[in-house]
Structure 1
Amino acid sequence: MPELMVVRHAQASFGADNYDQLSELGHRQSAMAGEALREMGWVPDRLVTGTLTRQKETLHSMGFSDVPEEHSGWNEYDFHDLLRVKHGGAIPDLVQHDRKTHFRTLRETLREWQDDGLHGAAESWADFKARIQAARQFSTETDAQKVLVISSGGAIGQLVASAMSAPPEQMIALNLQVKNTSMTRFIFSSRAFFLHEFNATPHFAPQARADMLTYS
């Protein structure tokens, strides 16, 4: 059956003015991920990304030079927008720059969003779920046998949760587990969509590469 491989973008620039670009480590992570796919003999015949720079840079640094198709449904939710709504317009500096505080606040904010809170946010939880579904349909309605998608943690978490018919809070747990350049694989047909593998990072398996693993 055809396969959909969804790879999370590599490490972006956490704490920088422009988060939406890869760090130097992110480019190296991407190169290793691309090498791992080629070593497995997994050669895509369709490339898809969201519209974010960090997603496109990941694909390019993986060694795929063909221009990908784009679908904005693969983009991440706008956490900064959710935070601005939650905090009345100004995001606390500690939330933006301290990783521990950032991820604790992320969990709390997403749960409130899922409970139909955060009125005034640019995107509702229902709209987010709908666009992930649309992105999945766009990417799997194809004659291609191996579809490679570069996406983001929240989108991957929701895609997996949906495939497993899991409750909304499970999306948050999945989201926070997704590693940079991890590979999540699905098998699909016109009538079926099954999770086959989640959050795999074979390119970081050797002990010498253990410090390459990141989550943001």
Structure 2
Amino acid sequence: MHEPAVHRDWVEDDFGVTALGSSYHNDWSRYTNDPIEHALTYLGPTGDPAFPVLLIEDLQRLVSSPLSDEELGRLWGVLGGALGGSPTFAGVERVWFHRLLAAVTRLAVARGAREAQWVELPACTPEPPGTVAAEHQRLMPEVLAMTGLLDRARAGESGPALATRQAIERCVTLVCPELGFRFLLHALGRFGCGLTAPEYTRLEELSSAFGHGPFVVDAHRCLLG
């Protein structure tokens, strides 16, 4: 999410791939025939194209990244509920993201989006200084430090939590710290990692620095000890 001024009204709550992934509740398959149909139903056929464009940006960054299918699967996996039910794509996660990207792109165009909004997606790099991407890169060490919270995973899940932490750290360093931060928030909930008040406050401060609205972190307030 490299244009916070443009998308301010759409980032009050979770957005992009993290919002979509967490929408696959246990009973999603009762109402749609496949994961793509669910995604299109979730987004809706009409309305402001800003939300689909934010999803397109996330998906483009993920599919063009050096992350492996296993790492993409780890990231996607933390977005579903602890009881399961979210679709899985063992070994073909990048294929899934490509299919989803194509479907969402068609929807965004039908809703009036311009392809120029994502054809020349700005890279998440520290240069030139003063850009949103440079600010994201400046925050990278702090996001990486917060991934240590995943070491508090509930009993019996330390292995999956460690593998997920490694995937998130790779996302933060190789894709985008802001996108990795959103995956981290979901992973903390997925693995039941309790937070102290100062830790929660720091998450809020990082979220605000990324240009998020107040409810991106507030949705995880239940983790406060």
TM-score in terms of structure 1 length: 0.35
Of Structure 1 and Structure 2, the greater helix share is in 2
Q: Taking CA–CA contacts closer than 8 Å with sequence separation of 6 or more, which of the two structures ends up with the larger relative contact order?
A: 1
Of Structure 1 and Structure 2, the greater strand share is in 1
